[in-house]
Chain A
Amino acid sequence: MSSPLQAFTNGIYKENPTFRLLLGMCPTIAASMAVSNGIGMGLAATFVLMGSNLIISLLRSVIPSEIRIPCYIVVIATFVTIVDLVMNAFLPQLHAVLGVFVPLIVVNCIILARAEAFASKNGPGASIMDGLGMGIGFTLALIVLSAIREPLATGVVLAAADFGFDGIRLFPQRYAMAIVNQPVGGFITLGLAIGAVNLITAKKKNKGSRGAQGGAGK
């Protein structure tokens, strides 16, 4: 129904899983505490999305619709296991920080939602591009959130334990706001970021249709 390129760009802004569809809130809050965590979680989810979208799209005529969810979960779990083991082998520190949230990618609703809403109805080419677009959209959202949260909470940005990089210190530790690292701070940051994205979207729309009473600005 849509071209692969459309499927790709769709996930990055127009249907960004985090900011527009509000999917996968739990890993968003957990993995956006540091930029390196955000990138790691985002790329892991991207890999799983592409793989599961491809396989589910190929199998879409074989899977009986009554038991499609268990079938999707088996496919997704396979790719999550690959990511889990690879990350544990090559990025042990990141794996330790993300902890249970890596295996929990299985139940990340972005992946199941794309399997259900896209891959089960579209060809493998478009599905893999949809997975890539959604995954990159998710990664970008995590980078935006963690780029706000990490410096506010620790005073350091871009710390990555796996590469032995302590990050760039922007201000001393004593000024850091510990609350931003907690789920509360995560949700407040997420709310403000969604508000900002809505504001930008509304402004764009207003520009497109001038004269319409702009109810935006919230």
Chain B
Amino acid sequence: MADSKLIVTPAPHIRGNIDTPSLMRDVVIALLPACLAGVYFFGGKALISLVAGVAGCVGAEFVFERMSKKPVTIGDWSAVVTGLLIAMVLPPHVPAWIVVLSGVFAIGIVKLLFGGLGYNVFNPALAGRAFATAAWSALAATGYIWPASAQGAAWARGIDAVTSATPLTLLKMGEIGGTSMSRFYMPLFLGNVAGSLGETSALALLIGAVYLLWRTHISLRIPMSYIITVAVVTALYGQDPLFHVLSGGLILGAFFMATDYVTSPINAKGQVIFGIGCGVLTALIRLFGGYPEGVAYSILIMNAAVPMIDRFARPKRFGEVKARA
């Protein structure tokens, strides 16, 4: 932060040596395992997607900040993080120009027009994805493929036409789910399934999440309350909770996007409320909504609710008593 001289909390303060670039670099490092897993499963097209996402975001940040004669902040790595995340939440075989334009939208409209890093209301990467899927829905939907090493048709039980559907889409269409789902746990955990570029491999994502936790950049409050809520709600509805936790973008969203400092509540109580809200919305969209997956939209919806949550979860001042009616 440039104006770190402004200190608003009461003393004492501990000064750390964490600044925005080092934090964002750590997030990039934490995302790398999942990116590599995406490239491993989906091939060179995934690499092009990742490069396109980063190029679109960093390029847009540079051009727009130059145009508005503001200091250029591409050095803080936050645009790189947004770029990687956009590529990771879009299908692997989506055309590269869609990834670039989503990045331009995410940075130009969602981040910079709201005032830049620290002021954006919505997570830029998720808003970029929402933009891409709403703008070019047909192209975005056909971008899902099965890794060459996986037997997509085996999942679909002989129905060839749905090989580009993700596990959650198959579940929604009733192709799977009639019998025990435990045979799907391993491929879902490793990432050997169809899905967005960076969301399939729970293992790789968890490695990155452990790194962020070890560096104390994130806490477990939002991810855990989010994931547990999804598991509980889906279990109550009689579906396999572990399948729901491992599939789709839940782990990516819970650890890397719902925990975004800017768009999540400030204190612990608010963060738990935020996580539970995301979880309930995700489960509701998956179980009853029109879309097979709801992680992106539920986090965006809860982003909008963050100011209200912060208001409710405000800690009591010392000596404060409840006002009597």
Which A residues lie at the B interface, using CB under 8 A? 174-175, 177-180, 182, 184, 188, 217-218
**In chain B between 154 and 195, which residues have their CB closer than 8 angstroms to a CB of chain A?**
none
User: Would A179 and B135 count as touching, CB distance under 8 A?
Assistant: yes
Residue in A177, A182, A218 whose CB lies within 8 Å of B136: A177
Identify the 6 closest CB pairs spanning chains A and B, nearest first: A177-B135, A179-B134, A179-B135, A178-B135, A217-B68, A178-B137
Looking at the assembled complex, report how far the CB atom of A102 sits from the nearest CB atom of chain B, in whole angstroms. 28
A217 to B65, CA, bound (A): 11
Chain B residues in 8 Å Cβ range of A182: 134
Indicate with 1 or 0, residue by residue over B120-145, a CB within 8 angstroms of chain A CB atoms.
00000000000100111111000000
If A217-B68, A217-B69 touch, whether A178 touches B109 (CB-CB below 8 Å) is no
Indicate with 1 or 0, residue by residue over B78-122, a CB within 8 angstroms of chain A CB atoms.
000000000000000000010000000000010000000000000
A184 to B130, CA, bound (A): 12
Chain A residues in 8 Å Cβ range of B97: 175
Looking at the assembled complex, report how far the CB atom of A182 sits from the nearest CB atom of chain B, in whole angstroms. 7
Main secondary structure of the interface of A (DSSP, over half): helix
User: Would A184 and B69 count as touching, CB distance under 8 A?
Assistant: no
Residue in A180, A217, A218 whose CB lies within 8 Å of B135: A180
Chain A residues in 8 Å Cβ range of B109: 188
Q: Which residue of A lies closest to B70 (CB)?
A: A217
Give the one of A177, A180, A188, A218 with max B CB within 10 A: A177
User: Would A178 and B68 count as touching, CB distance under 8 A?
Assistant: no
User: Would B139 and A184 count as touching, CB distance under 8 A?
Assistant: no
A115 to B97, CA, bound (A): 49
User: Would A179 and B131 count as touching, CB distance under 8 A?
Assistant: yes
A217 to B70, CA, bound (A): 9
Q: Which residue of B lies closest to A177 (CB)?
A: B135
Residue in A174, A178, A217, A218 whose CB lies within 8 Å of B134: A178
Chain A residues in 8 Å Cβ range of B131: 179
User: Would A174 and B137 count as touching, CB distance under 8 A?
Assistant: no
Q: Which residue of A lies closest to B109 (CB)?
A: A188
Chain A residues in 8 Å Cβ range of B137: 178
A174 to B98, CA, bound (A): 11
User: Would B134 and A184 count as touching, CB distance under 8 A?
Assistant: yes
User: Would A174 and B139 count as touching, CB distance under 8 A?
Assistant: yes
Some 7 contacts from A to B, beta carbons below 8 A apart, are A174-B138, A174-B139, A175-B97, A177-B135, A179-B135, A184-B134, A217-B68
Chain B residues in 8 Å Cβ range of A180: 135
Chain A residues in 8 Å Cβ range of B135: 177-180
Give the one of B69, B109, B136 with max A CB within 10 A: B136
